[in-house]
Structure 1
Amino acid sequence: MLVHICCSVDSHYFLQRLREDFPNERLVGFFYDPNIHPYSEYRLRLMDVERSCRKLGVELIEGEYDYESWLNAVRGLEHEPEKGARCSVCFDRRFEVSARKARELGERRMTSTLLTSPKKSIEQLKEAGERIAAKEGVAFVTVDYRAGGGTQRQQEEAKKAKLYRQDYCGCLFGLTQQRVQQERPLAELFDPVDGRTLPGSIQERLALYEERLRLEEAGRNYRIVRHKFLNWRLLYGWVKRKKETLPSHILPYSVMKRRYTSGKVECESGGLHCFNREEVRFMTLARYNALAGTDYASLEALFSSPPAFGLELEVRQKAGLDPWDLSPLVVLEEVPEGKLEILIESETWRDVREKLVPL
């Protein structure tokens, strides 16, 4: 039986139940999910499915990540709600490819771990699966592993196996709607041009779960713990003098109540130049180098290869700002006299991140 797999949380329990109910079937996992966005999230989910299938001894095949084809298939349905017409097209697309793969492999039956997802309609999946599989001469197997406390046991299995538990279905449009309802920014889509790994980002989670695999290969025990924190993202910003944009570097957790202000530097103390608006602080590149232990010759060099995010948090504290201080801190080559204009567009929100704790 070919088993279309959407994620490890759904598949780990689902595959175990299938083995119990179909003991004579050879199960072949098929990870085909071009709807998942961004690609870093796709890689993370695939990596966790691979780990799950290794633990269960199930063969796994990866389908093509043909994201543009998926986008074309759901064009015009971007604003459909969860379980609406866009989801129907998405199921059809994935089931069509899965049914063709089952026929190609000589499998007589197929099913999907989407059936065990609490966010999906079993009836909707059953109708789509049977209709599409029949076109390829394959039978679609509908099972309900949610009933009788199945969903709770699924979550218990996921926790026991230390699986990656994503907090959105997968597609860009569902993610957008979910974050709008939560009044949270689309942090999953932030990928800094400087290449840094930001706290709470998919890149950070990807690195964490890659390290988990290394620990497991080395036979070391570990725990994955979650904690709440204040997250921050810089959308964009600039500093201008006489309409000329000055090279500037805005440090993490710089927040302005109003995104734009103008004024003058009033005083300097301990290497910090205090602006007379929005609690803005400036420091020179030389001062930044001294606090960070770096030797950047220019701000352009700092832009192209900045230090780790955590080091810049240390710079804020070494400069005299408290850990809970959200005052904007901006690095300039030199702090000029006269009127300056500043724009900082940033977001802060309460978030949760994971940490890997070796034991």
Structure 2
Amino acid sequence: MDKILVHICCGVDSVWALRKLREDYPDAYIEGFFYDPNIHPEEEYELRWIETKRVCNSLGINCTKGEYDLKNWFNAVKGYENEPERGERCSICHDLRLEKTAQLAVEKGFNKFTTVLMMSPKKDFDVLKKIGEDIAEKYNLQFLAVDFRKNNGTQKMNQLAKEQQLYHQNYCGCIYGLFSQRKVNFQSGSFIPELVSFSKGRLAGSREELLFIKQIRLFAEELGLKVEEQQFRFLGWRVISSRLQINKQDIKHNIYLYSDSIKGVLNDRVKSIIGNKIILEKSDVEILITEDNIDMEPRFTTNPIFILNKKDIQGINIEKLTMELTTEFIPSSKSQNLYIGDIYNASEIIKFYSDTDFEGKNGYSLKEINDTILKNKENIKEGKTAVIVFGANFFGKIGENIFKHLSGQNSLLNPSDKVFC
């Protein structure tokens, strides 16, 4: 019996390619190998692995996760950083990944191997075929050069990816390809959002929030539970940099949601302190003082608002302030709600949130949610209990409000007769 090891780069490229292999080789044993040290950052690697695992699980195909061997990849492509897409750097990258696949194939007793990279229209089929065949000869294997794109393969891939609600990446994964794709000018201070974490937590609309949702989804699906995602768009926002000094002393602070940037450096004096609010003499910047966390609600103004904890300014006579703030508005951020079980007919609803505040607080851990799902597994299967993980809670309970709107204010969200976590 033929044994085929399939190199897999992501869930989307594999969702049709694995089905095609089964059609072409119905009597063969097929196994996957996820190995892509070219992907940056590691959170992106984990996200693509989870989606690959979901695809393989849905087909009953075993899949091995390769090491995130970033140092080896950097060494391999050193000197080819400025090569264009489909250039020499890509060939080296293909060679590295296919050689590792061939080595594993020999180790596990496979006689054939291939790669779902041949699914991608961004990759050169003939180059991949030549590399694969050369490596196959070296290891006494057969390389299967399958043109997965033929006969509407790309359309089938896109349709299946949509049906399975797979994460669809917007770059190949390579840091140098991303530099070129974004046309980054480092001298002008440009940055690439995909490579930057803007907080210690899981901000709404961030890759960290999406990875969290996908981890929960994989866990629930592997328990045999019905799972669905509902993606939504919202006006996103993030802090690029901020600084606050009182009497020339740096003060720990947070920034209120949707605060606009301050042009340059702003120096101002205190006009008055009313309750927990500091009013300044010249500017419309606001300073809030709190002992507890402030419930972030949506607002219609974008005045810059700094949030201070009372304990951090204890004993300080607040007179002069120096402030700097750079923020960014993102017109089309994406988050998602995750529904586990029969959310419309269950008699008990347990709700969680996927995002956290900037410090990584006021949120749930993966263990908390997964433990709850596991504890209620049988009731979820029977339709008695459902779990909802709402997205973008910290930005004004956006996911929950969207669900209420789309479900026609469905009574399942009435806390008077439901159990919430």
Q: Normalised by the shorter chain, which TM-score bucket?
A: 0.7 to 0.9
2:359 aligns with none
Report the RMSD for the aligned CA atoms in angstroms: 2.7
Note the C-alpha offset of 1:205.
0.8
Q: 1:77 to 1:344 in 2, by over 3 A?
A: farther
In the alignment, structure 1 residue 116 sits paired with structure 2 residue 93: no
| 2-structure distance, mates of 1:160, 1:124 | 31
Runs (5+) with no aligned partner, structure 1: 293-310
Note the C-alpha offset of 1:196.
1.4
Q: 1:4 to 1:236 in 2, by over 3 A?
A: same
With a CA cutoff of 8 Å and minimum separation of 6, indicate the structure with the bigger relative contact order. 1
| 2-structure distance, mates of 1:196, 1:85 | 38
| 1-structure distance, mates of 2:306, 2:23 | 60
Contact residue 88 and residue 124 of structure 1 kept, 8 A: yes
Note the C-alpha offset of 1:32.
0.9
1:300 aligns with none
In the alignment, structure 1 residue 255 sits paired with structure 2 residue 284: no
1:327 aligns with 304
1:344 aligns with 325
* Residue number among 32, 35, 38 corresponding to 2:35 in the alignment: 32
Note the C-alpha offset of 1:84.
2.2
Task: Map 1:158-177; keep pairs closer than 5 Å.
Answer: 158-177=161-180
Give the number of the structure whose residues are more often helix, by fraction.
1
1:187 aligns with 193
1:265 aligns with 270
Q: Percent identity?
A: 36
Task: Map 1:63-78; keep pairs closer than 5 Å.
Answer: 63-78=66-81
CA offset digits 1:82-117 (Å, max 9, x no partner): 222221211111111112112222322211000001
Note the C-alpha offset of 1:325.
2.6
Contact residue 9 and residue 116 of structure 2 kept, 8 A: yes
| 2-structure distance, mates of 1:102, 1:218 | 30
Moved more, 149-158 or 347-356: 347-356
* Residue number among 68, 79, 82 corresponding to 2:82 in the alignment: 79
Q: 1:149 to 1:270 in 2, by over 3 A?
A: farther
Secondary structure of 1:134's match?
Answer: helix
Note the C-alpha offset of 1:186.
2.9
Contact residue 288 and residue 305 of structure 2 kept, 8 A: no
CA offset digits 1:262-317 (Å, max 9, x no partner): 2223344563223355631101233xx2x63xxxxxxxxxxxxxxxxxx4x23xx6
| 2-structure distance, mates of 1:70, 1:56 | 30
For these two proteins, the number of residue pairs brought into alignment is 330
Note the C-alpha offset of 1:48.
1.8
Contact residue 27 and residue 58 of structure 1 kept, 8 A: yes
In the alignment, structure 1 residue 233 sits paired with structure 2 residue 210: no
In the alignment, structure 1 residue 18 sits paired with structure 2 residue 21: yes
Contact residue 222 and residue 357 of structure 1 kept, 8 A: yes
* Residue number among 134, 147, 151 corresponding to 2:150 in the alignment: 147
Q: Which amino acid aligns with 2:322?
A: E
| 2-structure distance, mates of 1:251, 1:238 | 14
TM-score (norm 1): 0.82
Task: Map 1:120-139; keep pairs closer than 5 Å.
Answer: 120-139=123-142
Runs (5+) with no aligned partner, structure 2: 344-421
